Amino acid sequence: MQFLILFNNKGGVGKTTLVYHLAWMFSLRGYTVLTADIDPQCNLTSAFLHEDVIENNKYTLYTAISPIIEGTGDIEVLPPLQIDNHLALIPGDLRLSLVEDDFSLCWPRAGDGDERSFRVLSSLYRVLLNSAQSIDADIIFIDVGPNLGALNRTALIASDYVITPLAPDMYSLQGLDNLGPQLYKWRSGWENRLHICRLKDVPLPSGKMSPLGYLVMQHSERAGRSTKSYRKWIDRIPAVFHQAVLRDEEPLKDSEHDPFCLARLKHYRSLMPMAMEVRKPVFSLMPADGAFGSHAEAVRNCKKDFERLVDLIADKINLREEQHPDYSGSMPLPEPGLELEGR
């Protein structure tokens, strides 16, 4: 079981869309997947669920951790909502933004060995772990907002690996400069706290948050090559990533030769509204959804891109391979708001 988070200090890089598509493709490749929406904006939850389901669902990540936050008990068990046979969701909640102060106050107190603070700081991880174990998940994808606040720090210490989505622009590079030092600071800070922790009756996250690599998003191409305006930023990403995130000085000149560049993905702009309307990933759109002609070719290309990406990530994190015998690259989806199990 691996916890994987997609995170960048800069917004608008397609992070939630990536989590959604990776979760679907991993499930189609034979892995049992749990997705967790820890972004108070709840965009991932909205991508999976019809608003009627969201409105009627009373159990979210916030309700699961609220007893420990309020001091009335420990975390509650949270059965995830079943999206497909091999895909489940822990829904987000706008009220998660209310726990920032609690997580912030508990961080220095845990540095003094305060046991309740460790219970609070491990609450997200423990809810995710219990839910993942209930469905025997192979991989847990965590979606967070684009900030360096206490809520995201608590989510990050729960993760084994971090993938950084990037747009080929100046602000993404600045986001890397912010992200790298903070990851190192939080990783070492949590490691120091674990050394003095006397709490033995609850599982605590390891705080591994190992950088797995980056994805370059939203770049345009002509004849298979990125346009000049984007290319200059793409070529600068490897050096900044290695220096700021990996803390090394490897003189890489372009992403094509960087083993930490997991993929360069097209935006598929014309297909995204279509996919959002029918609540499907782009690579599963059918002619009945409006994906015909040139759109059908884009759907096939998208499918190939995500198949390669999922196989690469699975190999890097040593996931077992157990592909569905009936895998065909398409999936039946429940009608919006129907056939969703859980509380």
Say whether pLDDT at 140 is over 90. Answer: yes
For residues 8 and 194, which has the higher predicted lDDT (pLDDT)?
A: 194
Q: Is residue 195 in a domain?
A: yes
Beta-bridge partners for 4? 141, 161
What pLDDT is attached to residue 326?
A: 46
CATH code of residue 17: 3.40.50.300
Q: What mean pLDDT do residues 312-338 have?
A: 58
Domain count, the chain: 1
Residue 168's pLDDT band, with cuts at 50, 70 and 90, is confident
- Domain residues for the domain of 289 are 2-316
| Tens digits of residue pLDDT in 61-120 | 999 999 999 989 999 989 999 999 899 999 999 999 999 999 999 999 999 999 999 999
Q: Is residue 343 in a domain?
A: no
Q: Is residue 100 in a domain?
A: yes
Q: Is residue 164 in a domain?
A: yes
Say whether pLDDT at 336 is over 60. Answer: no
Q: Is residue 331 in a domain?
A: no
| Tens digits of residue pLDDT in 238-281 | 888 998 899 886 666 566 778 899 988 876 667 877 888 888 88
Q: Is residue 326 in a domain?
A: no
Q: Is residue 279 in a domain?
A: yes
Mean pLDDT of the chain, nearest integer: 85
**What spatial distance separates the first Cα and last Cα of the chain, rounded to whole Å?**
24
Q: Is residue 290 in a domain?
A: yes
Q: Which residues are CB-contacts of 152 (< 8 A; sequence separation ≥ 6)? A: 7, 38, 144, 145
What pLDDT is attached to residue 334?
A: 35
Taking the C-alpha atoms of residue 252 and residue 239, their distance in angstroms, rounded to an integer, is 6
